[in-house]
A and B are shown apart, each in its own frame.
Chain A
Amino acid sequence: MRELTLEDIEALAVGAWILGTGGGGSPYLGLLNMRRLYAEGARVRLMPPEELADDDAVAVLSNMGAPLVGQERLADPANIARAVTLMEEFTRIRFRAVMSLEIGGNNAIQPLMAAAHLGLPVVDADCMGRAYPEAQMTSFAVGDLRPYPLSMVDPRGIEGIVARVPSWKWMERLSRKMCVELGSIAATCKAPRTGAEVKRWGILHTTTKAVALGQAVRKAQREHRDPIEAILHAEDGRLLFRGKVTDVSRRTTEGFLRGTARLDGLDDWRGRRFDLAFQNEWAVGWLDGEPHVMTPDLICVLETATGEAIGTETLRYGQRATVIALPAPPVFLTERGLALVGPRAFGHDLEFRSVFAS
């Protein structure tokens, strides 16, 4: 177990945004909260999952809702901490630690905010390894772990529990309705996990991975070296394409941001093209019309000059962008994993093939 420095958390915000693979919401407001908490003397410890006892209880946290609403009703550490204590009151469980639902984007910081309030450590793990748009797209769902109960908290003192559901899909449906009623933003504590479950089904060491990724980028920027080279080196990634954005089309359907983007090649890729499809996050990429990279491989679109991630909401014509792939957590490469987060789960009738297979 080690104490996270503010420098670690600054790096975490950069790395988490890259692991957001285009979605997950900017970690900026979470980072602002952490800067304030650290200035007030709070400190957060990071706990290796190996240190969990099999019967320890772990709270899995996320801020649920529409990113736009999150720009007005700003995430509050007291609120996410209350989701944890509410779950404790309902289940009579005492949590040993908290962890993140998704390491990609804004939710990477939520457990740190709760931890600072509660004095609990943060487990170095999550259950997505990136960002995904729906509740059943987790490694815990791949493991068919119990999807309930869930606690949900609003700053007005409105508190709810989803006590029992037959499936992760039902959990998504019920909790989504509650969240919309509260103003489309709510702090949630998902179904409690045991230490054994986290060690068996969690995606481990992802906080450390995001911090390292962010540190590599920040160090390269400071030293005027190529930050993308640093990312590829730090994470064993693949450079897929370098070009400029020549077309973006977006539409909002069923609460998701969907669309396509096109890049025309520069440098070694001059004369070639790369197309991307997204649903909140980047889902599939085609090189010269041929499927080239697809979820669950992590597709990251980065600003060529700075190495910083570009979100599906902020990509625009003329940007110089580099597309890279990072390896998917092995749990998603199983048959059940691919059923939940493979290309078909996002409406693309493609047989999954990893860029890391060759």
Chain B
Amino acid sequence: MRRRIGVDVGGTNTDGVLIEDGKVIAAHKTPTTEDVLSGVREALSAVAVPDVQGVMIGTTHFVNAVVQRRDLPRVGALRIGMPASRSLPPFCDWPEDLATLVRGAVHMVEGGVDYDGRPIMPLDERAIAAAARQMRAAGLSCVAVSSIFSPLDPAMEERAAQILRQEMPGATVTLSHELGRIGLLERENVALLNAALIPLAAHTLQAFEQAVAAAGIAAPLYITQNDGTVIRAELAARFPVLSFASGPTNSMRGAAFLTGVQDALVVDVGGTTSDFGALKAGFPREANTVVQIGGVRTLFRMPDLLSIGLGGGSLVREEGGRLSIGPRSVGFRLTKEAIVFGGGTLTATDIAVRGGRLALGDASRVASLDPAFAAAALAEAARMIEEAADRMKADAAEVPLLAVGGGAFLVPDRIAGISEVLRPANAAVANAVGAAIAQVSGEADQVFHGLSRSEAMAEAERIARARAVDAGADPASLSLVDIEDLPLAYMPGGALRVRARVVGDIREAP
């Protein structure tokens, strides 16, 4: 790795860093702008140098579009699996406001497979063609396809995509098996959200390309994903949902890089919340449970995160002899409302200043505060952090905790179950660092028939490696980071589902 630029576009700030041979050379923080683009432009130009090998951008733009219900087109839903699952059609568990905005058409046709690979019904190709023509006539150009048990056998979704492309030239098609897992509604929801974000993604990524060019950088653009790796911008445009959680992920990966620790818990303490995650071999641990996005239940590749209402701006109160911190916070008004800044609201920051943890604002303003009370409040914050850290652990063994973010002073140096607390330098831009150092991944997740377990696993790894190289990885640097096999006991011929994931460095231009 020589020179790379990482940019993280958060809800509040846009951070840019330049990394050279593993060192942070330049860093810049600027407020995120309404149009996103000008903030990115400023961050880029502040750190840009002539010869960079790559620009990595992480953005919360897509997930914010869902949460804020903006820039979302109407989407056509095609469900394959009738007559099964008839009573709960696509969009059936969406919040009404979002469904009204996004639901363009719902078509359900015969097909789908059972857990043993047998078709529930033969695929009704004529019905798919008819649905496609109706969607085209209705002016829809984003379609999501979901089929029962498609993660076990994606053939029907793939055939449907062929028909849709024939009948609806220019339409974008999202297939549920490419994104989600077992659980029809949750997987379908991921595909629908993805379909709704493709136009925004195309537009945003084009703007990023222009910003990179405008900064005089000739290097390729990569977009960071939920799993801590990057993909080329043109691929990212197909799967915007895979960038949903790139903010916390980049922060975790950056913390790992800045400390050199690969297996640890990470806490990012902001103004209002503390977000906990877990790193395994340098990558965030995946959530295996339903994750709600803008009120929509989803199940796909997302990092396992735990958020608690504790931050630098959290309100500190004592009511009926009971001391409490958060979850209410003064948030971004901290520098006006906290007592050390001349305000009238007692916050976690004031307590930390009184307790000697932090030098910030005017300490004399909190001098009258009872030191025993300040100590008790800091102890309460420590207890909250300790409990959340413990909940994120996978087992009882002690692990290090990496503390980043503006409110990290609330994290005590000693925590039960934590071997040590590490506070990396440059922690304020850990997320942009995480983007800059990202690698490329390739994944295979499919069912193999008639192969031995070792043959199936070797085949899955081969497919994953080929995909990583397609995504821009240097073949010599690839390593297998995760492989698991799930025997499908009921399937004929000893079928085996194997998931393999490899990562490698970005191939440098010759």
Residues of A within 8 A of B (CB): 29, 32-33, 36, 66, 68-69, 71-78, 155-157, 180, 183-184, 244, 246, 314, 317-320
For A184, what are the chain B residues with a Cβ–Cβ distance below 8 Å?
114-115, 490
B368: interface (CB < 8 Å) = no
Cα distance A183–B117 when bound, in Å?
10
For B92, what are the chain A residues with a Cβ–Cβ distance below 8 Å?
32, 36
* A72 lies within 8 A of B184 (CB): yes
* A318 lies within 8 A of B391 (CB): yes
* B390 lies within 8 A of A73 (CB): no
Known: A246-B396, A318-B390. A74 touches B114 (CB 8 A): no
Q: How near does chain B come to A272, taking the closest CB pair, in angstroms?
A: 16
* A68 lies within 8 A of B85 (CB): no
* B88 lies within 8 A of A317 (CB): no
* B114 lies within 8 A of A183 (CB): yes
Cβ contacts A to B, 10 pairs, < 8 Å: A29-B88, A29-B185, A66-B115, A71-B182, A72-B115, A72-B149, A72-B182, A314-B289, A317-B394, A318-B393
Interface residues of B in 141-162 (CB under 8 A from A): 148-149
* B185 lies within 8 A of A74 (CB): yes
B392: interface (CB < 8 Å) = yes
* A76 lies within 8 A of B85 (CB): yes
Q: How near does chain B come to A99, taking the closest CB pair, in angstroms?
A: 21
Which has the most chain B C-beta neighbours within 10 Å: A29, A157, A246, A320?
A29
* A72 lies within 8 A of B83 (CB): no
* A71 lies within 8 A of B120 (CB): no
For A69, what are the chain B residues with a Cβ–Cβ distance below 8 Å?
114-115
For A320, what are the chain B residues with a Cβ–Cβ distance below 8 Å?
387, 391
B116: interface (CB < 8 Å) = yes
B319: interface (CB < 8 Å) = no
* B183 lies within 8 A of A72 (CB): yes
* B393 lies within 8 A of A74 (CB): no
Q: How near does chain B come to A100, taking the closest CB pair, in angstroms?
A: 19
* B182 lies within 8 A of A33 (CB): no
Q: How near does chain B come to A17, taking the closest CB pair, in angstroms?
A: 15
For B280, what are the chain A residues with a Cβ–Cβ distance below 8 Å?
none
Cα distance A71–B188 when bound, in Å?
12
* A74 lies within 8 A of B184 (CB): yes
For B387, what are the chain A residues with a Cβ–Cβ distance below 8 Å?
320
Known: A32-B92, A183-B114. A74 touches B490 (CB 8 A): no
B482: interface (CB < 8 Å) = no
Which has the most chain B C-beta neighbours within 10 Å: A77, A78, A317?
A317
B428: interface (CB < 8 Å) = no
For B88, what are the chain A residues with a Cβ–Cβ distance below 8 Å?
29, 32-33, 36, 74, 76
Cβ-neighbour of B87 out of A33, A68, A71, A318 (below 8 A)? A33
For A72, what are the chain B residues with a Cβ–Cβ distance below 8 Å?
81, 85, 115, 148-149, 182-184
Closest residue on chain B to residue A264 by CB atoms: B396
B86: interface (CB < 8 Å) = yes
Q: How near does chain B come to A182, taking the closest CB pair, in angstroms?
A: 9
Known: A32-B93, A68-B115, A74-B185. A155 touches B86 (CB 8 A): yes
Residues of B within 8 A of A (CB): 81, 83-88, 92-93, 114-116, 118, 120-121, 148-149, 182-185, 289, 387, 390-396, 490
* B396 lies within 8 A of A68 (CB): no
For A71, what are the chain B residues with a Cβ–Cβ distance below 8 Å?
182-184
Q: How near does chain A come to B186, taking the closest CB pair, in angstroms?
A: 8
Known: A32-B93, A156-B120, A184-B115. A78 touches B87 (CB 8 A): yes
Q: How near does chain A come to B433, taking the closest CB pair, in angstroms?
A: 28
Closest residue on chain B to residue A74 by CB atoms: B85
* B86 lies within 8 A of A183 (CB): no
Cα distance A33–B393 when bound, in Å?
37
Known: A156-B120, A156-B121, A319-B391. A73 touches B182 (CB 8 A): no
For B83, what are the chain A residues with a Cβ–Cβ distance below 8 Å?
155-157
Known: A183-B120, A317-B394. A36 touches B87 (CB 8 A): yes
Q: Which 5 A-B pairs have the closest CB atoms?
A: A183-B114, A318-B391, A74-B85, A155-B83, A76-B87
For A244, what are the chain B residues with a Cβ–Cβ distance below 8 Å?
390
For A156, what are the chain B residues with a Cβ–Cβ distance below 8 Å?
83-84, 120-121
Closest residue on chain A to residue B151 by CB atoms: A72
Cα distance A36–B94 when bound, in Å?
12
Closest residue on chain A to residue B183 by CB atoms: A71
Closest residue on chain A to residue B148 by CB atoms: A72
Which has the most chain B C-beta neighbours within 10 Å: A155, A244, A320?
A155
Cα distance A57–B311 when bound, in Å?
61
For B93, what are the chain A residues with a Cβ–Cβ distance below 8 Å?
32
Cα distance A237–B81 when bound, in Å?
44
* A73 lies within 8 A of B85 (CB): yes
Cα distance A72–B184 when bound, in Å?
5
For B81, what are the chain A residues with a Cβ–Cβ distance below 8 Å?
72-73
Cα distance A35–B273 when bound, in Å?
34
Known: A317-B394, A318-B392. A73 touches B87 (CB 8 A): no
Q: How near does chain B come to A286, taking the closest CB pair, in angstroms?
A: 19
Cα distance A73–B183 when bound, in Å?
9
Closest residue on chain A to residue B187 by CB atoms: A72
For A66, what are the chain B residues with a Cβ–Cβ distance below 8 Å?
115
For B391, what are the chain A residues with a Cβ–Cβ distance below 8 Å?
318-320
